Amino acid sequence: MSLLGRIFTMSLLIAGCAIGLTAWLASQATTGSIRQEQGDALATDAALYDELLGYAAKNNSWHDVKSTVDKLAKQTGRRIALTTPDRRPLADSGDASSPQLPVTPKAQVDPLNVNLVLKPGDRGDIDERAVGPFRLTELEHQKLRTVADRLALCDPMYKVVEAPNGHPRAEHGGARFDGDCTFGNSLLVPTDTERAASTELIGLLRGCVDRLPNRVKDDLEWARPESIDWYRTARPQEPEVAACLASARREQLRPYVAPPALLFLTTPTGDEPRPVDLSTAGVTRIALTALGILALAGFASWLTATQLVRPIRALTAATKQMGDGDRTVRVEAGSGELGELASGFNAMSERLAETERQRQALVSDVAHELRTPLGNITGWLEATQDGVARADPALIAMLLEESLLLQRLVDDLRDLAHADAGTLRLHPEPIDLAGVVAQVVAAHQSRDLTLTADTTPTHLTADPVRLRQAIGNLVANAVRYTPSGGTVTVRAFPDGGSAVVEVADTGAGIAAEDLPHVFDRFWRADKSRSRATGGSGLGLAITRHLVEAHGGSVSVSSEPGSGSTFRVTLPNYLSVPRKPKAPKRDGRLPS
Ligand code: ADP
């Protein structure tokens, strides 16, 4: 896959994951908070319903409910309204300015038909607080209460609770009381009121049961319970009988409880809180938004990737062009990392072009240098062969000199090639520069001029053979370019942490504009390459390479007409003179 494709796919993938995850988290959090909000609202509604249901169970009308409704409305911040089933108002926490009640009521408040959605914990469909004729008289209640209190003192294990009709009883698993607490058994006996009420209930039940077809005669004494609680849990096996019991209980309790009423719960302003949920439309909206963002992210990634890839493509094309041999190719260098890469490429391209130019110049110079001596040798040999010239000692000496010239040229070229390749090998050892200078001066003595050495002991670590070659080139030039009667002085001395060699002559000097070129390869002030000066133009280039290989430098100062001074500065000067090695038998210093 291309870089562009990879960057684009990668960004798209990351964006897709990020958007998907964010959308999922957002929908989860929203759904959670909606559920909690709805749960809270439902709990409030259920509590209000239960309060009003309790009121209806204990009162046979809604006459005095207004104060309860107002109190509850204040507590919950909701508008509470009760109406009859035909929508005549019974009580309303709102006032005349309040909006109309909604069409659908929240629930019907009827203690004989409990709404199991709003009160799911209820064990029957008749509210336990609706006790009707089962409610104990004050006297009965007082009596049983006294027994219950004694029972609690008799044995703290007995927890005494009061049934909704006021009948106290101890929670002890239904067994009869024994030991000192047998008096507690009087709590298990129904009171006169309860007995009368259950007799009445059995009468009503019998009326219903007797109407059932194929019914075996039943004295219905099972319906005479010990307490009212029994009715709430009693479930006769035959469903018809169970239905009869329920309707008998409703018939018996109806006169004691408030008639059914419709309950309306709204906000004080009348706006019903809109049920918010993540419906299909909601999910679609989230999905569409996510897709839209993804498309935007995709477009942005595409733009970025294209911009990023454009300079890379330009570089690739330029590299191919360069590979095909075009050294003039350059790319537009902008800013940033890719800009730096482009600048680096341009620098490399320029360097390659320069190297190529130097290589071509070198080949042409070498060919040129070789042509003269080779032409001489060939010409004279042909003349001898044709009998035009005689191979006398003078001719042979001249031919030898030409071939030595060729030899020197080839040696110089090999040294330069080594220097270029970094394979110029040095064999450093502690030496005295004064000795090296003395050897060079001795080798270049000439009758035409005065060549002298002026040295002080200068110790350093260097390759003596290569140093002789470097200083020899300078001295040879000085001798060559100084007319008869002139003076050449070679000085060697320590200078601070360096060792210095200076070759000064009283020759023609070098023109100021030529000074920067004297160390270039094949450069000569005298372009005619006359035999008198004879050099190839490589001597100073080699000297500079040799000196630099030692970590030193070479410079020139010249006064046209009065002479030139070449100065070689070498580091690694050893200030403590070392004991020089004994010279070998041929008198040369060990190399
Ligand atoms: P060559 O073999 O021609 O001497 P070099 O590289 O040694 O080549 O020197 C390059 C050129 O520098 C010479 O051709 C000459 O023109 C100039 N040059 C070098 N040394 C001296 C000197 N001591 N005095 C004047 N010119 C010099």
pLDDT, residue 591, reads 35
Task: Give Cα 227 distance to the centre of its chain.
Answer: 73
Q: Stretch 283-290: mean pLDDT, rounded? A: 81
Whether 55 shows a pLDDT value over 90: the answer reads yes
pLDDT, residue 436, reads 95
Round the average pLDDT of the chain to a whole number and report it.
84
Report the DSSP beta bridge partners of residue 460. Answer: 431, 573
pLDDT tens sequence across 228-243: 555 555 666 677 888 8
Q: Taking a C-beta distance cutoff of 8 angstroms, is the pair 426, 549 a contact?
A: yes
Output DSSP code: residue 254. G
CA of 478 to the centre of ligand 1 (A): 8
The alpha helices in 386-463, defined as continuous H runs, are 393-421, 433-443
pLDDT, residue 422, reads 83
Of 171-175, 270-274, 443-447, where does the model show the most confidence?
A: 443-447
CA of 477 to the centre of ligand 1 (A): 6
Q: Stretch 483-512: mean pLDDT, rounded? A: 94
Q: Which stretches does DSSP call E strand in 409-549?
A: 429-432, 450-455, 459-462, 487-495, 498-505
CA of 404 to the centre of ligand 1 (A): 19
Q: Stretch 295-301: mean pLDDT, rounded? A: 85
Of 4-8, 137-141, 271-275, where does the model show the most confidence?
A: 137-141
pLDDT, residue 489, reads 97
pLDDT, residue 84, reads 93
Higher-pLDDT residue of 396 and 20 is: 396
CA of 533 to the centre of ligand 1 (A): 9
Pairing of strands 168-171, 159-162: antiparallel
| Cβ 62 under 6 angstroms from ligand 1 | no
| Rounded-to-integer distance, Cα 247 and Cα 496, Å | 127
| Cβ 198 under 6 angstroms from ligand 1 | no
Whole-model pTM: value is 0.48
Position 578 confidence tier, pLDDT thresholds 50, 70, 90:
very low
Q: Stretch 424-450: mean pLDDT, rounded? A: 92
Weakest mean pLDDT among 50-59, 153-162, 531-540, 564-573: 531-540
Identify the burial level of 74 via C-beta atoms within 10 angstroms of its C-beta, where 0-12 means exposed, 13-18 middle and 19 or more buried: exposed
Higher-pLDDT residue of 582 and 383 is: 383
pLDDT, residue 8, reads 79
pLDDT, residue 320, reads 94
Structure tokens at 104: 């659908």
The dihedral formed by the CA atoms of 214, 215, 217 and 218, expressed in degrees to the nearest 10 = 170
Q: Stretch 152-181: mean pLDDT, rounded? A: 77
Q: What angle do helix axes 192-210 and 239-253 make, rounded to 10 degrees?
A: 130
Report the DSSP beta bridge partners of residue 500. Answer: 493, 569
Task: Give Cα 380 distance to the centre of its chain.
Answer: 82
Weakest mean pLDDT among 3-17, 445-459, 491-505, 522-536: 522-536
| Cβ 537 under 6 angstroms from ligand 1 | yes
| Cβ 132 under 6 angstroms from ligand 1 | no
| Cβ 475 under 6 angstroms from ligand 1 | no
| Cβ 510 under 6 angstroms from ligand 1 | yes
Output DSSP code: residue 503. E
Task: Give Cα 502 distance to the centre of its chain.
Answer: 64
pLDDT, residue 577, reads 44
| Cβ 439 under 6 angstroms from ligand 1 | no
pLDDT, residue 589, reads 38
| Rounded-to-integer distance, Cα 334 and Cα 352, Å | 22
| Rounded-to-integer distance, Cα 473 and Cα 539, Å | 6
Q: Stretch 210-220: mean pLDDT, rounded? A: 73
CA of 474 to the centre of ligand 1 (A): 9
**What is the DSSP annotation of 185-240?**
GGGGSPPHHHHHHHHHHHHHHHHHHHTSTTPPP---GGG--SSTHHHHH---SSHH
pLDDT, residue 533, reads 53
Q: Stretch 432-454: mean pLDDT, rounded? A: 93
CA of 555 to the centre of ligand 1 (A): 13
Which atom of ligand 1 lies nearest, measured to the CA of 540? 6
Weakest mean pLDDT among 102-116, 175-189, 240-254, 364-378: 175-189
pLDDT, residue 387, reads 92
Q: Taking a C-beta distance cutoff of 8 angstroms, is the pair 105, 50 a contact?
A: no
Q: Stretch 306-321: mean pLDDT, rounded? A: 89
Position 279 confidence tier, pLDDT thresholds 50, 70, 90:
low
Weakest mean pLDDT among 72-76, 497-501, 582-586: 582-586
Q: Stretch 81-105: mean pLDDT, rounded? A: 88
Weakest mean pLDDT among 57-71, 152-166, 547-561: 152-166
Pocket test for ligand 1, best of 515, 536, 540 (most atoms within 8 A of CB): 540
| Rounded-to-integer distance, Cα 110 and Cα 66, Å | 17
